[in-house]
Structure 1
Amino acid sequence: MPIAPALFYVRTSMLDVAYEAHGPVDGEPVILLHGFPYDPRGYDDIAPALAERGCRVWVPYLRGYGPTRFINAQVMRSGQQAALAKDLLEFMDALCIPRATLAGYDWGGRAACIVAALWPERVRGLVSGDGYNIQDIAKSLEPRPPETEHRLWYQYYFHTQRGVDGLTANRRAFCQLLWSLWSPSWAAGPSLYGQSAPSFDNPDFVDVVIHSYRHRFMYAPGDPALAPIEQALALQPPIAVPTISLCGADDGVGPPPLEDNDAQHFSGFYRRQVLPGVGHNIPQEAPQATLEALLELLA
């Protein structure tokens, strides 16, 4: 079992964010963001390599994961996209990071895309798992092709009380199933799952996850304090910062289409790269490709 990096904490308006840090304190800033249901272990082969090249790398635990905690009981356990983005922005503010290169996938990719779109002055470059990750909530209730609906079964499950109870009772087994379904060709996945599974024991994990998947379908109200951000996101703002999109060809929940439908959302440098034999957990399944994309943007 590898030795876990040292853990640090910083307080934002809603959270005590736990994070890992690598590299010289005056290095080029890079922030790496995990998704659902994953954690910072996804970047174990990337963060040290960036640090060796002189970068200062931060890898936070998102709200509801690992040691990250809400500061009090009154803070809404929101999992909506605006909350994830505000967390990232406040994380940067709290650590006095004026501008950073961001990488993220799934929930973390959504946070990175939003900050890149709405606060581009804070982002030098973006490596996004699966392109434009900003939700178009107004269109969320439009029916999708049957094969897509089938892959989203877990989201519909979370809309029910049975789903809440099931995730509460079986969170580790449930997330392990998603790992296997979403990364069907990842041979190392089963042996690595145990390193990330403890992060799902966070006392707010279920509440944040359930709210995330209900809010995006308009089945749960958002945090009123985040309404201005959600209003800006409803316009589907373009991303102007230099971006590389990495897509897993074997992604079991969102396989990349042959035609890149996300290119229209990027107004600056943009390149999509489809990774053969890679599923949903892009940085952990394809660390070299992720590292190379980051280094290209950092050059």
Structure 2
Amino acid sequence: MSSLRTARTETLEVAFLHEGAEAGWPVVLTHGFPYDVHAFDEVVSHLARAGARVIVPYLRGFGPTRFLSSNTMRSGQQAALGQDLIDLLDALGIERAILAGYDWGGVASCVASALWPERVTGLVSYAGYDIVDVERLGHAFAPAMEREIWYQSLFQLERGRECLTLHRRELCRALWERWSPGWTFEESTFERTATSFDNPDFVDVVVHAYRFCFGTAAGDPALASFEARLAKKPTIGVPTLTLDGLRDPLKPGGTAHHASMFSARHEHRAVDCGHNLPWEAPHDFADAILTVRGWIG
């Protein structure tokens, strides 16, 4: 049974679910937007039975996680998400861990693996090499893709901030339905996660994340050196298994072509599901982690 715990970093009071023995092999599972820790409920139990110490943090701006200071920039940029993972490992006294994530969590896990590979024993990343190419996002995509990322364009405007503030449940529910065709979920399932969107920093973090990605908002100056390194598209040098959902409208054609961005052992798998792979296909996600665990011993 998972327990809710907290850990204090220099920036955050991070709330996280914990399951498994303290002496187990550590794995950190990181959710995306607009989801939360419950996306991994079935994954967690599977891994804990395999001897893992499973840590599932609420991202900054989600659920009970809180900023320690009102003066801290409510940044949602990729370097902040990656550093949050490393800071959490420090707070928990964990030297190295397997990182596994999707959506924002995939970004965080890839960033941490690229910038701090000495802290990562292995990586499972949904949607391949998921480090944001800020320069590319400043240019147009084909109309079919622009239609799918309408919410990102909306968030560039103050009316987008207002929409997310006033209608966050309706907006996020629409994304769940659009991104996971064929996945049927009960209203109670959505509402259990939607409470995480009531975090007082949710709107600011989400809006900044997409404005930074589009190059329309400045990042945290303290993270500028990390973003400069990420802009050079560093390869990831830890054992990695990447995943795609065959019915994910955000990733048409998948990401198998990202293979050259991984310089250590790498395997790619495609799963018959949508964007929310850990929830739609939890056994596939857990098996990917166990496969990486088998590689590293």
**What residue in structure 2 maps to residue 290 of structure 1?**
285
**What residue in structure 2 maps to residue 193 of structure 1?**
190
1:190, CA displacement in angstroms?
A: 5.0
Q: Would you say the 8 A contact 1:113–1:128 is kept in 2?
A: yes
TM-score between both structures, scaled by the size of structure 1: 0.96
What is the 5 A alignment of 1:175-194?
175-188=172-185, 192-194=189-191
Which of 1, 16, 21 in structure 2 is aligned with 1:24? Answer: 21
What is the CA–CA distance in structure 2 between the aligned matches of 1:76 and 1:160, rounded to whole Å?
A: 19
1:48, CA displacement in angstroms?
A: 1.6
2:221 corresponds to which letter in structure 1?
A: P
What is the CA–CA distance in structure 1 between the aligned matches of 2:293 and 2:178, rounded to whole Å?
A: 33
User: Which structure 2 residue ranges, 5 or more long, are not aligned?
Assistant: none
Q: Would you say the 8 A contact 1:180–1:190 is kept in 2?
A: no
1:20, CA displacement in angstroms?
A: 0.7
Say if 1:256 and 1:92 are closer, same or farther in 2 by CA, change over 3 A. farther
- Secondary structure at 2:244's aligned position in 1? strand
CA offsets, 1:194-234, max 9 Å, x none?
22110001000000000000001110000000111101101
1:270, CA displacement in angstroms?
A: 1.2
**What residue in structure 1 maps to residue 49 of structure 2?**
52
1:173, CA displacement in angstroms?
A: 1.1
Q: Would you say the 8 A contact 1:248–1:255 is kept in 2?
A: no
Which of 113, 116, 124 in structure 1 is aligned with 2:113? Answer: 116
**What residue in structure 1 maps to residue 271 of structure 2?**
275
CA RMSD, Structure 1 to Structure 2 (Å) = 1.2
Of 182-191 and 84-93, deviating more is 182-191
What is the 5 A alignment of 1:1-299?
5-188=2-185, 192-257=189-254, 260-276=256-272, 278-299=273-294
CA offsets, 1:22-43, max 9 Å, x none?
1010110110000000000011
What is the CA–CA distance in structure 2 between the aligned matches of 1:12 and 1:196, rounded to whole Å?
A: 24
What is the CA–CA distance in structure 1 between the aligned matches of 2:87 and 2:20, rounded to whole Å?
A: 21
User: Which structure 1 residue ranges, 5 or more long, are not aligned?
Assistant: none
1:191, CA displacement in angstroms?
A: 5.2
1:189, CA displacement in angstroms?
A: 6.2
What is the CA–CA distance in structure 2 between the aligned matches of 1:22 and 1:81, rounded to whole Å?
A: 27
What is the CA–CA distance in structure 1 between the aligned matches of 2:65 and 2:163, rounded to whole Å?
A: 23
1:120, CA displacement in angstroms?
A: 1.1
- Secondary structure at 1:154's aligned position in 2? helix
2:261 corresponds to which letter in structure 1?
A: H
What is the CA–CA distance in structure 1 between the aligned matches of 2:17 and 2:143, rounded to whole Å?
A: 40
- Secondary structure at 1:46's aligned position in 2? helix
1:261, CA displacement in angstroms?
A: 2.4
Q: Identity of aligned pairs, percent?
A: 49
1:242 corresponds to which letter in structure 2?
A: P
2:276 corresponds to which letter in structure 1?
A: N
What is the CA–CA distance in structure 2 between the aligned matches of 1:39 and 1:144, rounded to whole Å?
A: 28
TM-score between both structures, scaled by the size of structure 2: 0.96
CA offsets, 1:149-194, max 9 Å, x none?
1111100000011111000001111100100001011123655212
1:158 corresponds to which letter in structure 2?
A: F
